[in-house]
Amino acid sequence: MSLENSSPENEKFGKILNQAYIRRGVFMFIGITLLAFTCLFLYSNTGEVLQAIKSIKLEYVGLAFLMAFFDWWIGGMRNHIFVRETNPGISQRVCFDANLANIFIGAVTPSQTGGGPAHLYMLWRGGVKLTDGIAVSVMNYISTIVFFIISTGISIYHLQSIIPNDHISLLIKSGFAIFTTGFIIVLISLLAPERMGRVLMWIGKKLKSVFPNRFKNLDTKTEKLAGELQNYHKTIMFFLINNPLLLPLSFIITCIMYFNKYALAFVLLLGLGIEADFWTVIEIQAIIFFMLYHAPSPGASGFAELSIAGLMAHIIIDTKLATFTILHRSFLLLLGALVGAFIMLRELKKHNTEQTTTS
């Protein structure tokens, strides 16, 4: 039986339940990443790159592993503080697994578009209602937007002299535009869900009239979405009214989570024997993560490697630049994506077995 068509929820999670879609994304991600790494190796001296890898201090590698695990754990905790309010019986493990599934599917889909649905799917499989999961995601997205705008704004102010006026500058400007648009949409949905619902239904009807063959059921889907806006609005208001400290707590956890990511890059530098100013590294990382959050390729592959190399070149000599970039991508994305792949595919297999048994 096809998972996509077995229930209304499966219909909504159609793409991430499609293993062919996942495989295609994995191949694209790996292909672009390998191409970017190859370019970095060609730019550097391959022999010196291998020598740099051999000379890495293992104690810092061990610390990097601990920090990577802490990143996964606190990402799950950021969701669990909300989930435990609506579903007291849900363990933090459900949120931990959902966070890693988010990392995996986000890595193999353009602009991380699959990460959110994968996260919601894992929460749903763990017993969290879809509308509650959406509300949790929105609350944390608000924290993320505020954090990125503040941290990136400060970093750009301090480091404007080293930011190249090329694709990096374009990514920064695009990031501000996307985050601002996202924040406005979330704010309108929060303050005026009925008005946003009417806008969505209007858009659905217009698109269907212009492209009747391509968007046959779009008006019906947008009407359902408008109804779901009301449901998740109620959950968000429940969070804000019954526990107004949850949103500030989410912001604090978001700050800790990203500071840990940024500091991990500094630890990798120490592992390579590179001395650098701690706060300069932190600010460069803030800009890098901001740029890559909505990068159009799967897992920001290609954009990430070139952006990391472009900004960190002010700190790292050419012979160690490729090594650092590989380590950076490995600890801050690839490792989490591998663990997330195991968790996600295991859950899909379990779900498929359940569907086959009941059919």
* pLDDT of the residue at 44: 63
Q: Kindly tell me if the per-residue pLDDT of 170 is higher than 80.
A: no
Q: Which amino acid is at 55?
A: S
Q: Which of 301, 347, 290, 270 lies closest to 16 in space, CA to CA?
A: 347
DSSP code for 109:
S
Q: Kindly tell me if the per-residue pLDDT of 240 is higher than 70.
A: yes
Which comes out higher in pLDDT, residue 271 or 219?
A: 271
Q: How far is CA 120 from CA 72, 131, 150, 249, 316, in A?
A: 16, 9, 27, 21, 39
- Are 14 and 20 in contact, with CB atoms under 8 Å apart? no
Distance CA 297, CA 109 (A): 7
Q: Kindly tell me if the per-residue pLDDT of 78 is higher than 90.
A: yes
Which comes out higher in pLDDT, residue 14 or 259?
A: 259
* pLDDT of the residue at 216: 65
**Percent of residues, the chain, with pLDDT higher than 90:** 34
Q: Kindly tell me if the per-residue pLDDT of 234 is higher than 90.
A: no
Which of these ranges, 17-26, 101-110, 204-213, 257-266, has the smallest mean pLDDT?
Answer: 204-213
The stretch 302-323 carries a mean pLDDT of 82
Rg (CA), the chain: 21
- Are 258 and 151 in contact, with CB atoms under 8 Å apart? yes
Q: Which amino acid is at 168?
A: I
Q: Which of 49, 54, 62, 64 lies closest to 330 in space, CA to CA?
A: 64
Q: Which amino acid is at 90?
A: I
User: Which pair of tokens denotes residue 10?
Assistant: 């499966």
* pLDDT of the residue at 2: 42
